[in-house]
Amino acid sequence: MNIKILICDDEPILCKKTQEVIKSIDPNIDADTCYLGESVIDIADKYDIIFLDIDMPGMNGMETASLLRRRGVSSYIVFLTSHSEFMPEAFEVRAYRFLTKPLDANKVSKMIDEIKLEMSSRHKVIIKTGDREYVLSSDEIVYLAAYGDGTYIYTTHDVIDSSKSLKHWAEVLSDKQFFYVHKSYIVSYAYISELGKMSVKLRNVKEEIPVSRRKHKEFREKYISYITTCARKQ
């Protein structure tokens, strides 16, 4: 599988070294470079993996990642940092990994292999509405809401009206990323910003999503398991 990588670091020498490490792992990987977070925004969706330096002038790595996610970019984000501590903000931008500079080629190689494997098995969702057909990655789905016999599917960039029931979509999305929190709602763990007593807040969603009383305990346990697994990747 050929993948495309974008490296963004404000220090050209370090940018070049990162590119050399990647090319030493696999010469067939397309690895491009840029030096400002602002330069990433309009070209990001062309790349499978984006390496972002945390400490950059202007728009730093975390700010760049946040804007990319708000624009619906689903590329894997890998932060390059001189700091070893984990940053909680990484959950909000769904960062895949932190790599400490200077890079360890073995760690980078292992990570790229993991991403390739994940990409090959990434859940694609096909949604048919009238004469249109949408093909989405499950990562693009924020939540689903039932209405009558149909379902509104809220993605990072659109709202799709499906004639299929919420129960149907619960079966389609029966993986570790989603939870059927209420008879009228399914949410993606990846977009949760706050857990309430009987509700959940999602990033960039104004309304709170209710959580049914009988599912509340199971939901919290599975969400904690999800974020623990994410943290272990850092």
Q: What are the CA-CA distances from residue 111 to residues 49, 76, 77, 145, 152 (Å)?
A: 11, 11, 12, 35, 35
Confidence (pLDDT) at 228: 74
| Domain assignments of the chain as residue spans, ordered by start | 4-121, 124-232
| More reliable by pLDDT, 40 or 85 | 40
Interacting residues of 52 by C-beta distance below 8 A, sequence separation 6+: 8, 37, 40, 61, 64, 65, 77, 78, 79, 80
124-232 to CATH, choices 3.90.1150.10, 3.30.559.10, 3.40.30.10, 2.40.50.1020: 2.40.50.1020
Q: What is the three-class DSSP state of 226? A: helix
Beta pairing class for 4-8 and 30-34: parallel
Q: Please give the CATH architecture assigned to the domain spanning 4-121.
A: 3-Layer(aba) Sandwich (3.40)
C-beta of residue 155 within 8 angstroms of C-beta of residue 136 = yes
The Cα 184–Cα 113 span in angstroms is 38
Confidence (pLDDT) at 2: 78
Confidence (pLDDT) at 88: 65
Per residue in 101-132, pLDDT (tens digit) is 889 999 999 999 988 887 776 667 889 888 88
Per residue in 149-170, pLDDT (tens digit) is 999 999 988 899 999 999 999 9
The residues facing 128 across adjacent strands are: 133
